[in-house]
Structure 1
Amino acid sequence: MIEFNQVGKTYSNGFQALKDVNLKIEQGEFVAIIGLSGAGKSTLLRTINRMHDITEGTLTVDGVNVMGLRGKALRRFRRRIGMIFQSFNLVTRTRVINNVLMSKVPDLPFFKALFGIFPKKDKLEALEALDKVGILDKAFVRADQLSGGQQQRVALARTLAQNPQIILADEPVASLDPVTAKQVMGDFLRINKEMNITILLNIHHVDLALQYAGRVVGIRAGRIVYDGPASEVTQEILDEIYEGKTEEEAVG
C-alpha cells in the first residue's frame, strides 16, 4: 500500500507543488492522476520512488517510510517500482531486447554489466516481457525502427522485466496518436488485471483516464480535489479540477 499523510512538497525556489496531500492506494489498483499543467501531477508521482523528496508529512510504501531510505536500501526499494516516461528513454541504436535487458543491469556484477553479459535466465525473462506487451517479434530489431507506440511498449516490457510491484507512468501516451494511445492504455489495463501490479499514471487525456482507470485522482494547485471511481466523475467534478477549462485549454 502507498500512503501519503499530510504530504507537502516545496521546491528550493519557494514553489509549493504539493499541499496537505492525504492519499491511500492499495496493491493492484489502477489510478489515473489528472489536472492542469503545473498542478502537481508529476511531482506526486515522483515522490513515490524518491525522484523528488517531500518536505512535509510522511510517505510510506508497504509500511516503509520512503524518506528514511538511504544507499543500498533506497536502491533495493526502487527496484520494486517501475518508471515509464513520455519520451520512452530507449537506446535507439541498439536492439529491442538489449533495451529490455537494461532493467537487469543493477543486479549484475560490475564486469558483466560493463560488457553486457547477461545470463540465459535474464534473456528469457526479457523475451517473456516483450511477449506480454505483444512485440516479441521485434526483439532483435533496432529500437529506432519501431513506431512510437512500439517504443513505449518496449519501455513497458523493460519495466516488467524488473518484476515490479508498482508501475509509475508519467504522461505515457502524450506523444502518441489517439489509436496508439488506446492500445498502450489497453496494455496497462491488461497488465494491471493479469499481474496485480499497482499502476499510477499521469495523463492529460481525460477520456482515456475515465475509460481505462478504475480510480481517478484530480489535483488542482497541489491539492487533491477529487478522489474516487472513474465511473463517478461528472462534468461538475472536471470543472472543479480544471477550473472550468476545456481539455485543449488545460493542456495547451
Structure 2
Amino acid sequence: MIEFINVEKTYGNNVKALQDINLKIDQGEFVAIIGLSGAGKSTLIRCINRMHDITGGSLIVDDIDVSSLRGKEVRKFRKRIGMIFQSFNLVTRTSVLKNVLVSFVPELPFWRKLTGVFSKEHKTKALTALDQVGILDKAYVRVDQLSGGQQQRVALARTLAQNPDIILADEPIASLDPVTAKQVMNDFKRINEEMNITVIINIHHVEIALEYANRIIGVRDGKVVFDGKSAEVTEEVLDYIYKGQIEKETMSQDKGE
C-alpha cells in the first residue's frame, strides 16, 4: 500500500509543487493521474520512488517511511518500483535484450559489471519479460530499428524483469500515435490484472485514462481536487480539475488565435 499523509513538496525557489496530499493506493490498483501541465502530476509519482524528496508530511510504502531511507536502502527500495518514462531511456545502439538486462546491473558483482557478462538466469528473466509484452522476436534487434511503440514495450519489459510490486509511468504514451498508444495501454492493463502489479500513470489523454484506469486522481495547482472511480468522472468534474480550460480555449478562438 502507498499512503501520502499531508505530503508537501516545495522547490528551492519557493514553488509549491505539492500541497497537503492525502492518498491511499492499494496493491493491484490501476490509477491514472490527470491535470494540466505543471499541476504536479509528475512530482507526485516521482516522490513515490524518491526521485524527488518530499519537504513535508509522510510518504509510506508498505510500512516503510520513504523519507527515512538512506544510501543502499534507497537502491533496494527502488528495485521494487519500476519507472517508465516518455523518452523510453533506452540505449538505442544496442540490442533489445541488452537493454532489458540493464535492470539487473545494480545487483551484479563487480566483475560482472566490469565484463558485462550476465548469468543464464538473468537472460531467462529478460527473455520472459520480452515475451510478456509480445516482442520476444525482437530480442536481438537493435533498439534504433524499432518503432516508438516497440521501444516503449522494451522499456516496459526492462521494468518487468526486475519483478516490481509497483509500476510508475510518466506520460508513457505522449509520443505515440493513437493505435500504438492503445497497444501499450493494453500491456499495462494486462500486466496490472494478471500480475497484480500496482500501476500509477501520469497521463494527458483523459479519454484513455477513463478507458483503462479504475481510479482517477485529478491534480490542480499541486492539490488533489478529485479522487474517485473512472465511472464517476463527468464533464463537470473534468472542468473542475482543469480549472476553466474550456473557457480559455473558447476565448482564444474568439480572438482568432
* TM tier relative to shorter chain: over 0.9
Distance 2:245 2:139 in 1: 43
Matched, 1:167 2:150: no
Structure 2 unmatched runs, 5+? 250-257
Cα distance per residue 1:141-191 (max 9 Å; x no partner): 000000000000000000000000000000000000011001100100000
Residue 217 of structure 1 and its aligned partner are, at CA, apart by 0.2
SS in 2 for 1:106: helix
> 1:5·1:22 contact (CA, 8 Å) conserved in 2?
yes
In structure 1, distance between residues paired with 2:111 and 2:98: 17
**1:168-247 mapped onto 2 (5 Å cutoff):** 168-246=168-246
SS in 2 for 1:164: coil
Indicate the residue corresponding to 1:139 in structure 2: 139
Instruction: State the aligned residue count.
Output: 248
Aligned partners of 2:244, 2:211: CA distance in 1, in Å? 21
Letter in 2 for 1:30: F
Residue 76 of structure 2: aligned partner: 76
Q: In the alignment, which residue of structure 1 is the partner of 2:253?
A: none
Q: Which amino acid aligns with 2:58?
A: T
Q: Take 1:204 and 1:115, find their aligned partners in 2: how far apart are those partners?
A: 42
Q: Residue by residue, what CA displacement relative to the aligned partner does 1:168-215 show, whole Å, maximum 9, x if unpaired? A: 000000000011001100100000000000000100000000000010
Give structure 1 stretches of 5+ with no counterpart: none
TM-score, normalised by the number of residues in structure 1: 0.97
In the TM superposition, 1:31-50 aligns within 5 A as 31-50=31-50
Alignment TM-score, normalising by the size of structure 2: 0.95
Equivalent residue, structure 2, for 1:22: 22
Shift of residue 72 of structure 1? Answer: 1.0
Deviation at 1:97, TM superposition (A): 0.2
SS at match of 1:158: helix
CA RMSD of aligned residues (A): 1.0
SS in 2 for 1:19: strand
Q: Structure 2 CA distance, aligned partners of 1:73 and 1:152?
A: 28
Distance in 1 (alpha carbons) for counterparts of 2:222 and 2:44? 9
8 Å CA contact 1:39–1:219 kept in 2: the answer is yes
Match of 2:11 in 1: 11
How far is the alpha carbon of 1:111 from its aligned partner? 1.4
Three-state SS of the structure 1 residue aligned to 2:245 is: coil
Is 235-244 or 148-157 further displaced after alignment? 235-244
- Contact 1:238 1:244 survives alignment (8 Å): no
Q: Is the 8 A contact 1:7 1:59 kept in 2?
A: yes
Amino acid in the other structure paired with 1:99: N
Q: Percent identity?
A: 71
2:255 aligned residue: none
Higher Cα Rg, which structure: 2
Task: Find the counterpart in structure 2 of residue 126 from structure 1.
Answer: 126
Once the two structures are superposed, residues 48-73 of structure 1 have per-residue CA deviations (whole angstroms, 9 ceiling, x without a partner) of 00000000100000010000000111
How far apart are residue 116 of structure 1 and its match?
A: 1.2
Question: What is the DSSP-based 3-state SS (H/G/I as helix, E as strand, rest coil) of the residue aligned with 1:23?
Answer: strand
Q: How far off is 1:114 after superposition?
A: 2.1
CA deviation after TM superposition for structure 1 residue 244, in Å = 2.4
Residue of structure 2 equivalent to 1:85: 85
> 8 Å contact 1:96–1:154 — kept in the other structure?
yes
Opposite residue 86 of structure 1, the aligned amino acid is Q
User: Hey, what's the Cα distance between the residues in 2 that align with 1:114 and 1:231?
Assistant: 52
Equivalent AA in structure 2 for residue 87 of structure 1: S
AA aligned opposite 2:72? K
Letter in 2 for 1:154: V
Secondary structure at the counterpart of residue 20 of structure 1: strand
Which residue number corresponds to residue 254 of structure 2? none
